[in-house]
Structure 1
Amino acid sequence: MLTITATDFGLAPSDIQIKDYSNANLLVLDGEFTVDTTAEEYSGIRPMKLTVADLPFSKSRIGTALVTVLSDGIKYATITKVWVKDKNTICIGKILPYNSAGSYKVRFNTVLIPEKITGEVVLSQRINHTPNVTKGEAAELEIFSVQSADWLILTLKATSLTFDTDSQTVEISVPDLPENVSSSFPVLYNEGLWVDLGSKYYPATLENGTIVISKDGNADEASNTGKKFTRIVIVR
């Protein structure tokens, strides 16, 4: 776990649980926390900062984290910038359009590398999975991953989802995924109209090699809705 000693936006370090993997040229972060936009500390700072134990490098290139919010009963998601400022500070960009919601969640889905790095590039092998949809339907479903001994990246794409009538879920068995990995994440989609709150999403989980995507009260999609997409980073 990442050792967090302080924050500057009103959340106690004990309320943040972030799994991490690091080496000299890599920092992988996996976990989430809730931001209270009504907190006095939050209103006066930008960006948000986590004070942590020594990091593997003193400055990083810009990475990203997922951010989700519930606004007027609709689930939205976007991304924000994440970077290492120094050996003891991780910065996270605030999502100003989410302030009026009262709270939002930051989901570290994050790979960071040093700002200046040279050396041999070692490519990881992409693994194409053959998924089996056991509930509902997922048209033109594509799932692939990049795996290491300590972490993995999983990508899912589909042109459309049809939810099971009874469970209101789409359930997908994914062969060749390690059974000891689990995650919760948003599956994103757009309905053709730009809004400053971002994309809509369905909540999803991965457990024991099975992905469960829930409709969770979302309205039926418009006819011009685009592809469903997610990319998740999991520390093993």
Structure 2
Amino acid sequence: MSEQALFEVNGLVKGFDAPAGRLDILKGLQFSLNEGEFLAVVGESGSGKSTMLQILGTLESPDAGEISLQGQSLLNLKEAEQASVRNRKIGFVYQAHHLIPELTALENVCLPLQVQGMDIAKAKLRGMALLERLNIGARASHVPAKLSGGEAQRVAVARALAASPCLILADEPTGNLDEHSAQEVFDLLQQLCRQERAAVIMVTHSKALARACDRTLLLTDGHLVAS
């Protein structure tokens, strides 16, 4: 794989014990991702896409394989070290926005920065700048229950990018939205990630969104192949 790659995956294997025997989900996945690249991963439901993202984000362990980010091996790190990498270098966007209901949109975006110890005033400046770039600055003081689905997902995108991560992992980020809102959120995500020079791995069922990415890989029978 390229020495210049931002993110590298080599020989990733994952399986589960089932009544009928061992069920292999991921069978030696191997790929690399460059800085600023937008990669789509497609595949049938149950093919292992979400499991793959969980492992890539160090939220789950594989049975074998290696993952490195900016040349640093992630799987050999201690749990606290992995958590630190996730907080500083990896942003997550899910199908369900997972915003904290008691916090305003701005407070949700600022949360990762406060975890890092950033001064609250600086965190708010960064948070508002992101919300405004996502065309949702006017909703900064609203709690999630007062936001539409598309608005809430834009807040989730802003939160994922708040700490200026180099990698975004997006699991069906537009899956709960109507077609218009889905396209709008995707366009903003893509635009903002390019501006921030963040690489993206996006799992999606949308062929239209996948075609708009730099590259598409198909996860089928435990393998990633070009699509």
Tell me the TM-score normalized by structure 1. Answer: 0.29
Query: Greater RCO between the two (CA within 8 Å, min separation 6)?
Result: 2
Higher strand share: 1
Bigger radius of gyration: 1
